[in-house]
Chain A
Amino acid sequence: MRYKTKIVPAVLLMLLMGACAKTPITTPVAPTPPQVQVANYVNVLAQGLPAAGAAIIAARDAGTLSPEHTRAAQNVMLMVARTGKQINAILRTTDPWPSQKAAILMLILTSGVQEASKVLPPSGQAAISASMAVLNQILVAVGGTP
């Protein structure tokens, strides 16, 4: 009887330690707030624009893109950059997310970026396709359709 009072707690402790060592406890991933998600997308947009700009310039210097088309593609990318900055300015306001969301949606729809990108030649569109894809992700995140 005496050994039972000593063994039982020891056995329970061993079992718990063994179980804890093998238990694959997974912490559920926290959902990202939508305004943080949009801010992260804008950051991705910012990081991708320099590479797209360099690709456009390289195509012009190689003679595969005319100076006029280069200028048109650069103007589209400038519109994307300025739109990104304006989105960031909206995100930094103290307005509630529904108001920010509506303002960002209106900004993108009235910026003219999507229309301007569609008139570029295929090589120009290819160079900015990654940036346009991220802009479309932002558009979807604020309730629009690309």
Chain B
Amino acid sequence: MTALLPIILAVAPKLFQFILAIAALKTEYPDLTPEMITALVVAATNKADPTFDAFIAATLADQATHPIAPK
């Protein structure tokens, strides 16, 4: 047994790695619930809308200060 120990120590970790890797590959990711998807969408849209509003206001203000003379 003690003579075989170095061989077992050298080979078995790789075997365990292989087994654990297969187990990891078979792990399924849990599905997102509709509530979680809604929360993600609301968070993204709440971040974008104020930026859009500020851009629209700034652009209209610039257009007001730089009128185009009719030809």
The residues of A with any CB-CB pair to B shorter than 8 Å are 4, 7, 11, 14-16, 18-20, 22-28, 30-31, 33, 35-36, 39-40, 42-43, 45-47, 49-50, 53, 57, 60, 67-68, 70-71, 74, 77-78, 81-82, 84-85, 88, 91-92
User: Digit string of B41-71 for contact with A (CB within 8 Å is 1, else 0)?
Assistant: 1101101110111111011101100101000
- Give chain A residues whose Cβ lies under 8 Å from the Cβ of B66: 60, 67, 70-71
Could you name 18 residue pairs across A and B whose Cβ atoms are closer than 8 Å?
Answer: A19-B13, A19-B14, A20-B16, A20-B20, A25-B20, A26-B24, A27-B24, A27-B29, A33-B40, A35-B41, A39-B40, A46-B52, A50-B51, A53-B58, A78-B60, A81-B55, A81-B59, A91-B45
Closest Cβ neighbor of B5 among chain A residues: A11
A28 to B54, CA, bound (A): 38
User: Which 9 A-B residue pairings sit nearest by Cβ, starting from the closest?
Assistant: A19-B16, A39-B44, A46-B48, A88-B45, A46-B51, A43-B48, A25-B24, A19-B13, A15-B12
- Give chain A residues whose Cβ lies under 8 Å from the Cβ of B9: 11, 14-15, 18
The residues of B with any CB-CB pair to A shorter than 8 Å are 1, 5, 8-9, 12-17, 20-21, 24, 27, 29, 32, 37, 40-42, 44-45, 47-49, 51-56, 58-60, 62-63, 66, 68
- Give chain A residues whose Cβ lies under 8 Å from the Cβ of B17: 19, 22-23
Q: A19-B16, A40-B44, A43-B44 are in contact. Are A27 and B52 (CB under 8 A)?
A: no
